[in-house]
Structure 1
Amino acid sequence: MSKSTSEVQSATSLVFASYDAFTDVPYSGSQSAVILGASGISEAHRAKIAKEIGAPATSFVDDVSGNRVKVQFFSTVMELPMCGHGTVCLITRLVENNLLKSGGEDWNEVILDLPKGPSVVQYRRNTAGRCEVMLNVTPADYSPAEINMDVLAKLLGVDCTAFSQNLPVEVATGDFIHLCLPLRNCAAMNALQPDFGALADFCIANNLETIATFSTETVNPDRNIHVRDFCPAVGVAESAAAGTTNAALAGYLWRNNLITPNSDGLVTVQAEQGIKLGRPSHVTSHIATTKGLIKRIQVGGVASKIIEGFLNTKMDAA
């Protein structure tokens, strides 16, 4: 039987909540709003609401039926084909509202019915009792970056000496298109001061959606990678935590032999992000490999609820 979310709405208001993703510490990580019972909201109004809320992502839940969730994600400027941090917040919200079974420490599977097609998500209670969410991400295709690095360095507020001289700059094309840009160390990462308006134009001109800068030197010794992801072309100047970006970077690390699979062909990448923004996050990526090929990539973590209330959905004058 369908678990409709229609009971949480009235004629002019819907229940919504805001979460911080990829963190168990409130007021860090990356924000995402979740709106239940949204089937009556048009796409044009969804875009308006997402812009008004102002979070990097807002999910509009049309229906929950068994283990299938019909949902749509929007940034402040566009519809998103899918969203890693938005998914972590979405599943956490549905579990907390008993629209999905809470389960135990065994993994449960959910199918997100997105406009572009279904997406598989797993979730469970971790040892701390938090809802841990892992999203299947399309493995990216990688190609050499054919861009003007001098121009890019200027737009990032540094010179080319900030970039790694040992690792390639590659374009990762999957659910989004990321420029995987390795930097020398954390000092070079901290020195980045992007011109976001010009960087957005650069991304559009070069068919890129995010500039994923990273260093294999980290602040936290338990992490594998330090990340700063610049996304002005899709409505976020700098993301405090980005699931799809980290999945692409995990694949980059694997293909460039920067991380080694275990005897079962499994790779785990622990990333730190958002530190420069004062919103530290922890993003986990799992890669399953076989015969030198990626079989599956998952990315995820936990989320913390920040705000809960009612959203005014009345769009006409009183």
Structure 2
Amino acid sequence: MKGINIYHVDAFTDKPFGGNSAGVVPNAEFISCVHMQSIAKELNLSETAFLMPPQSTAADFRIRYFTPSSEIDFCGHATVATAWLMGTIGEWATKKNMITFETNIGHVPVKFEIKENSLRSVIMTQIEPKVKKIDTALVELANYVGLKKDDIETDYPIRLGFTGNWHLLIPVKTRKAIDEAIPQIDKLKKHNKSHNICTTHLFTFDSQEEDCLLYTRDFAPAVGIPEDPVTGAANGALAGYLILEGILSAAEAHTFNIAQGHKVGRPGKVEIIISFIDHKPIIKVGGSAVPTIAGTLLVEEEK
């Protein structure tokens, strides 16, 4: 048997057992794709990140993400968890001010925010945001996610948003409606797979959290996750949507927080920073994290 170092890290929280837990395997250079998938299934977290040497000299590590059922191109909370782990236990935050990951969708730089000589947060710059329309009827979508048609906030459009994966973004009038939503997981899974949608993201400006602009929930049955507690990729796509659809002004920068995870007992906070270069939005997503488990996974030697 061979021992592989593994960690559980709770992302988008400063308290253990909050936010969204990711698996992190720091030394995965000799692990096959088959074993990565098996390890992700064994850990049974929404995503597990595997680190290995990069193919590009512009990156510090190559990172791959697996759900219990499949590999995905990008995962926000696992990126935050991995950067936090490398910044603290790996001591990268004492050596340089950022770490750059090579992913399936390009390079993702993550900046270390230091305050009073300790790591306060890690802030990743996501790839350029995109939005596109979806032709599924409003009544159908409401049915899939367990909402009434009248729960949908029609002042804002339903769109697909992207900063690495495609997310179905559905505006909802109230937090109460979001919390009471009971999605039809099988129907939602079938729909999202047919449209290459990674997750369905419900959002509202009725956050009811003092320091948060929005409140969200995220369902990802298409990639084997009924509900993802706190999501960096989906909230990044949401931030891009808010700018590209003119809901937030493109004439100024924006900084705000998004609350998520409360319904499933894992409250978290996602920091959003939106700036512009040559009138193009730059989406930054971050937060703090807490390692909760460090151990050794015993597996058979690969042949």
> TM-score, with normalisation over the residues of structure 1?
0.87
Runs of 4+ in 1 over 4 A off after TM superposition: 64-67
Q: Which of residues 8, 20, 25 in structure 1 aligns to 2:10?
A: 20
**Partner SS, residue 283 of structure 2:** strand
2:187 corresponds in structure 1 to 198
Which shows bigger deviation, 300-309 or 167-176? 167-176
What number of residue pairs does the alignment pair up? 300
**What does residue range 5-16 of structure 1 map to in structure 2 within 5 Å?**
12-16=2-6
1:270 corresponds in structure 2 to 257
- Give per-residue Cα distances to partners, 1:174-212, cap 9 Å, x unaligned: 311111110011121122101112211111123322111
CA distance in 1, matches of 2:12, 2:30: 30
Q: Which of residues 102, 119, 124 in structure 2 aligns to 1:130?
A: 119
2:87 aligned with 1:95: yes
Structure 1 position 127, deviation (Å):
5.1
- Looking at CA atoms only, which structure, 1 or 2, has the larger radius of gyration? 1
Structure 1 position 305, deviation (Å):
1.1
Contact 1:250/1:269 (8 A) holds in 2: no
2:207 aligned with 1:218: yes
**Partner SS, residue 233 of structure 2:** helix
CA distance in 2, matches of 1:116, 1:216: 30
Which shows bigger deviation, 207-216 or 60-69? 60-69
**What does residue range 131-170 of structure 1 map to in structure 2 within 5 Å?**
131-170=120-159
CA-based RMSD of the aligned residues comes to: 2.2
Q: Which of residues 22, 39, 48 in structure 2 aligns to 1:58?
A: 48
Which shows bigger deviation, 78-87 or 46-55? 78-87
2:64 aligned with 1:72: yes
**What does residue range 26-65 of structure 1 map to in structure 2 within 5 Å?**
26-63=16-53
**Percent of aligned pairs sharing the same letter:** 25
Q: For residue 288 of structure 2, what is the amino acid of its counterpart?
A: V
Structure 1 position 257, deviation (Å):
4.0
- Give per-residue Cα distances to partners, 1:78-135, cap 9 Å, x unaligned: 11212111111111111223352425xxx81222123444322211324583341111
1:287 corresponds in structure 2 to 274
1:306 corresponds in structure 2 to 292
Structure 1 position 261, deviation (Å):
6.2
**Partner SS, residue 219 of structure 1:** coil
> TM-score, with normalisation over the residues of structure 2?
0.91
Contact 1:92/1:131 (8 A) holds in 2: no
User: Cα gap change, 1:51/1:141 in structure 2, threshold over 3 Å: closer, same or farther?
Assistant: same
Contact 1:126/1:132 (8 A) holds in 2: no
**Partner SS, residue 52 of structure 2:** strand
- Give per-residue Cα distances to partners, 1:44-93, cap 9 Å, x unaligned: 11001101101111111224899711222211111121211111111111
**What stretches of structure 1 of length at least 5 have no aligned partner?**
1-10
- Give per-residue Cα distances to partners, 1:145-198, cap 9 Å, x unaligned: 211221221222222111012111111133111111100111211221011122
Structure 1 position 144, deviation (Å):
2.4
2:107 corresponds in structure 1 to 118
Contact 2:275/2:283 (8 A) holds in 1: yes
Contact 1:133/1:302 (8 A) holds in 2: yes
Contact 2:175/2:215 (8 A) holds in 1: yes
- Give per-residue Cα distances to partners, 1:236-262, cap 9 Å, x unaligned: 111111111111111222234443468
Structure 1 position 33, deviation (Å):
1.0
User: Cα gap change, 1:186/1:14 in structure 2, threshold over 3 Å: closer, same or farther?
Assistant: same
- Give per-residue Cα distances to partners, 1:222-276, cap 9 Å, x unaligned: 11110011111112111111111111111222234443468xx321131000111
Structure 1 position 314, deviation (Å):
1.7
